[in-house]
Amino acid sequence: MKIDIQNNNKFPYLLIDNWFTEPELKNIWKEIDFFTIQNKLIKSSETKEVAISNNKKPLANNFRVSPFNHYSDLGYKTSPIANSLNKIQNKDFHSLVNKTFDDTDTALANVFLGTNQSTSIISYYEKDNDYKEHFDQQQFTMITWLYKEPKNFTGGDFYFTKNNTKIECVSNRTILFPGYYYHSVEPVKIIDTTRKNSGRFSISTFFYTIPETHGN
C-alpha cells in the first residue's frame, strides 16, 4: 500500500494506491462482474442519484448501480464491497485521516470520524462517458478506481476543478476527500472496442451523519 497525504490546510485529501489486497480485489471483481453480466448498471440519466446542472440536466454520463439496494441483509453481510468498508474502521486508517485533515480550520478529521452512515455505488465509463464538474452533498467521498488489465482506454482521469489538480486514474487507487470539493471525470476513450466491459469502473462511497435522537 502506497500512501500520499496532501494536507495543505486549504485543500487536503488522502490518496492510497493498492487499497485492496489481491484476495480482496479478486472478490471485488466477482461482485462487479455479477452486476455487469446481469445488466444491472443503468444509464445515469435514468436515475435520480446524480448531480444535476442548473437547468436540471444530469452532469453524469456513465452507467451505475447501487449494489446494496439489491441485497437482503444476508447478501449485504457477504458483499465484498460492503465488507471492504471495515478497512476504514481500523486505527491505522484513522491515523491517516488525522494526519491528512486534522490541521484544517474546520476540523475535517473529526467530521469524517463522526460520520455514522454510508452508501456506495458502482460506476462504469466507456465510449466518451464523463462526469462534469460537480460536488457531492454528503460530508465525505471515497472513490476507488478499477479497470481490467491491460488498460483499454485513455482519459478517465479525476480532476479537482477549482484547485486545478489532476489525479491519474490508476487501478486500485483510492482517494478520500470532503464532498464539497468540486470535481469531475475526464471523457473515456476505448482503445479496443471488441473488448467488452473493459472501461473505467469506480466504487464510490459517500459518508454522512444522521444526528442521534434522544428521548426526554
Phi, psi dihedrals of residue 15, rounded to the nearest 5°: -120, 125
- The pLDDT assigned to 22 comes to 96
Cα separations in angstroms, 35 against 101, 105, 126: 35, 41, 16
Confidence of residue 104 (pLDDT cuts 50, 70, 90): low
Q: How far apart are CA 23 and CA 180, in angstroms?
A: 33
Which residues, listed in sequence order, are joined to residue 174 by a DSSP beta bridge? 16, 144
- The pLDDT assigned to 46 comes to 86
> Apex CA 195: angle with CA 64 and CA 17, to 5°?
60
| Lowest mean pLDDT across 60-69, 97-106, 115-124, 147-156 | 97-106
**What is the per-residue pLDDT across 4-17, written as a single tens digit (0 to 9) for each?**
888 877 899 999 99
- The pLDDT assigned to 216 comes to 56
Q: Kindly state the percentage of the chain with pLDDT values over 70.
A: 96
- 169, burial (CB in 10 Å: exposed 0-12, middle 13-18, buried 19+): buried
Helix (H) / strand (E) element for 127: namely none
> What mean pLDDT is predicted for residues 140-154?
98
> 2-208: which CATH topology?
Jelly Rolls (2.60.120)
> What mean pLDDT is predicted for residues 176-193?
97
**What is the per-residue pLDDT across 36-56, written as a single tens digit (0 to 9) for each?**
999 999 999 888 778 888 787
Mean predicted lDDT score pLDDT of the chain: 93
Domain ranges of the chain: 2-208
Give CA 41 to chain center in angstroms. Answer: 16
CB 113, CB 176: distance < 8 Å: no
> Apex CA 189: angle with CA 155 and CA 168, to 5°?
15
- The pLDDT assigned to 106 comes to 66
CB 203, CB 122: distance < 8 Å: yes
> What mean pLDDT is predicted for residues 139-159?
98
- Give the sign of the dihedral formed by CA 55, CA 162, CA 191, CA 169: negative
